[in-house]
Amino acid sequence: MNQIINTVTNSLTELIGSATKAVPAVVAGIIILFLTKFFADFVCRLSNQIGKKAFKSRSLQLLLAKTSYIFVWVVGILFAAVVAFPGLRLGDIIATLGLSSVAIGFAFQDIFKNFLAGILILLQEPFRINDQIIVGDYEGTVEAINIRTTQIRTYQGERVLLPNSTVFTSAVQVRTAFEHRRTDLAVGVDYNTNLPEAKAILLETVDDIKEILESPEPEVDLVSFGASSIDLIVRYWTAPSQAMVRRTQSETIMAIKSAFDEANINIPYPIRTVYHYDQQEFNDYTPNESNGSKEYANHR
């Protein structure tokens, strides 16, 4: 019994001694991680300043800053592991990572997929920071392209985080990709309207709105004979931002209504014609029971 107790005591003593010897190395590794955080932040800020001088594209500036940040963290973690565990060599770490790369790939495939998609988005620049885009059911202004997500701010003031892989593989409508954007505004006029006069009034009205661009020139097209009106479309160009498009459209609608009222041109309501008749008087089928048989005669 005493021999078992002595064996256990010796084992605990050796374990505590080994742990005590390892404490300074572990503490040094933790300190290295803290220093890595501060150094990574410093390198990120420095890379951001260098990127602003070297690249005009905000996306490439972000790519340089994020890549530098991740690189510093990888180096710092590897160095901290070697210091904290002296018996562990850098070659062993690399070999272990190589052997476990398949398992890590399966476990973190979504993270890697979003990371690579974010890198490709930053390199290809299908859109940029502050562009207004539509992705699926979401529409808003791009605020940031992070390692995992693309962050947009909706027009209602909500933040939406979209996975980079979803953005990269989906159809993206960039509403501010060009310097100007066209609005098609539908309007209907009464069938008794002088169409050349109505078209001239529409063109004159949109020409007086300062937010509407002179080039490309506004156009008015007659598109169809509607149920109660002749349908026209006013096509004009403005700056591409959603706020400008919305405000200009409201101003244009009010100006067209005022101009048509002044010219006595009606914008008709939908018209429906309803006929009423006496069902008893206009019964299509009346029973005739003469000669003991039941016949039906058609009367109108």
Task: Give the residue extent of every domain in the chain.
Answer: 2-99, 126-174, 181-262
Residue 186 CA: distances (Å) to CA of 208, 232, 233? 19, 6, 4
Helix (H) or strand (E) holding 222: strand 219-225
Q: Mean pLDDT over residues 209-227, rounded?
A: 92
Q: Mean pLDDT over residues 222-251, rounded?
A: 93
Model pLDDT for residues 108-154, shown as the tens digit of each residue: 677 788 888 888 888 888 898 899 999 999 999 999 888 789 999 99
pTM recorded for the entire structure: 0.65
Q: Which CATH class is domain 126-174?
A: mainly beta
Tell me what pLDDT residue 14 has. 58
Q: Is the pLDDT of residue 230 over 80?
A: yes
Q: Is 154 helix (H, G, I), strand (E, B) or coil?
A: strand
Q: Is the pLDDT of residue 289 over 60?
A: no
Model pLDDT for residues 36-81, shown as the tens digit of each residue: 888 888 888 888 888 788 777 677 777 788 788 888 888 888 787 7
* Residue linked to tokens 């007086």: 208
Instruction: Report the distance separating Cα 159 and Cα 175, nearest Å.
Output: 18
Q: Is the N-terminal amide bond of 216 cis, ω within 30° of 0? A: yes
Model pLDDT for residues 187-200, shown as the tens digit of each residue: 999 998 999 999 99
| CATH classification number, 181-262, choose in 1.10.260.40, 3.10.20.580, 3.90.1640.30, 3.30.70.100 | 3.30.70.100
> Residues 229, 188: contact at Cβ < 8 Å?
yes
Cα 140 versus chain centre, distance: 6
In 3-state terms the chain splits into helix, strand, coil percentages (rounded to 5) of: 50, 20, 30
> Residues 82, 89: contact at Cβ < 8 Å?
yes
Instruction: Report the distance separating Cα 202 and Cα 50, nearest Å.
Output: 52
Tell me what pLDDT residue 62 has. 77
Q: Is the pLDDT of residue 107 over 60?
A: no
What average pLDDT is seen over the chain?
81
Instruction: Report the distance separating Cα 122 and Cα 101, nearest Å.
Output: 26
Q: Which residue type occupies 193?
A: T
